[in-house]
A = this chain, B = another copy of it.
Amino acid sequence: MTDLKRRLLDRIGEDLAAIESALAQNLTPYLDLVSETARYILFSGGKRLRPLLMVLSARLCGYSGKKDKKFSTIFEYLHAATLLHDDLVDGAAVRRGKPVAHSVYGNETAVLVGDFLLARSLSIAAETGLLEVIQAIALITENMSQGEIEQLSKKGSLSLTEADYLQIIENKTAGLIRGACRVGGLVAGASKTQVRRLSDFGYRLGIAFQMADDLLDYVADSRLLGKEVGADLREGKLTLPVIHALSQAEPADRDRMVEIIQGKHFDPADFSDLVRLLDHYGGIAYTREKASGFVGSAKEALSGFEPSTTKKTLMMIADYALARQY
């Protein structure tokens, strides 16, 4: 475990434990199969980034109520709902080192339990009593489904640009993370300015987080990652490291990359070859640099808040988004 991770866990351990317990308590299905399937996806080693960000954002704005953990489940339930549906849509096989839920419980159950989690998330949003919160969650859900459809419809397309990629990750990832931070401010009754700062922080952190995630698909240790490296490529998803490297490559190298990408059933040697080319044409460095830029501007967005332990923790989370190894 890295030093940053250890220090961060010291700070957030108590919150994480309370979030775990809220996640178990607020599920309340009446069918055992729903409970079992939802638990399979919910309690499989997720990082709880989204609920944690909500709780910390609320605290940063002086929230002193007792419902922050409950409200934070909105973001993990919604996240889990999209994981269930997206894994199915993407034909994924493994998540967090375990077979994906639809291969264990069947496609039908994965679709319907995803619907249940989505609805549960909106029910809890309604409990905040804040229309702005409810509207935000509904809109995020609309955008996440459209982001996934856009990614799906552009599957394998070599003409995907960096701008297309940004739009997709905004809808698929950054919107929800922004929402978690923003809703933290809203439930704390923060000022518009503070809510906007949190919103900016969340958006930028979300973009950085997804870029780091996309990098890990090429550079991580697959045992730590909990899935095979190269999974995105197998699913036909072109992410920034590839998009950038393709745009920079000499024709012969570009042809070789395209051959590997379109082959899909590439062997480990092909994959090493591709990673070498991504590296050679700066795809890895460029993505890391971009992500690092977003981490920096995310932290800047918090500059208007007074120094506090909570602010420091949020800053550390931003750094960790990039530093994490899986």
Chain A residues at the B interface, C-beta cutoff of 8 Å: 29-31, 33-34, 85, 88-89, 107-109, 111-116, 118-120, 122-123, 125-127, 129, 131, 134-135, 137-139, 141-142, 144-146, 148-150, 152-153
Contacts and interface: CB of A to CB of B under 8 A. Distances in A.
A152 B120 CA distance: 20
B112 A135 contact: no
The 7 A-B residue pairs with the shortest CB-CB distance in the complex, in nearest-first order: A119-B141, A115-B145, A123-B138, A89-B108, A119-B142, A116-B145, A122-B138
B152 A112 contact: yes
Contact of A85 (B33, B115, B122, B135): B115
A150 B89 contact: no
B138 A112 contact: no
A30 B33 CA distance: 35
A112 B85 contact: yes
For A129, A149, A152, the residue with the greatest tally of chain B CB atoms inside 10 Å of its CB is A149
Contacts of A33: 149, 153
Nearest to A152: B108
Contact of A115 (B29, B30, B118, B129): B118
A29 B146 contact: yes
Contacts of A135: 123, 126-127
B116 A89 contact: no
Nearest to A88: B111
A264 to B, nearest CB: 17
A29 B145 CA distance: 10
A138 to B, nearest CB: 4
B141 A109 contact: no
A37 to B, nearest CB: 9
Given A31-B146, A112-B148, A131-B131, 17 more contacts: A30-B146, A31-B150, A34-B145, A34-B149, A89-B112, A109-B149, A111-B114, A112-B149, A113-B149, A115-B118, A115-B145, A118-B118, A119-B141, A119-B142, A122-B122, A122-B137, A134-B134
Contacts of A129: 131
B152 A138 contact: no
Contacts of A152: 108-109, 112
Contacts of A126: 131, 134-135, 138
A5 to B, nearest CB: 33
A310 B213 CA distance: 57
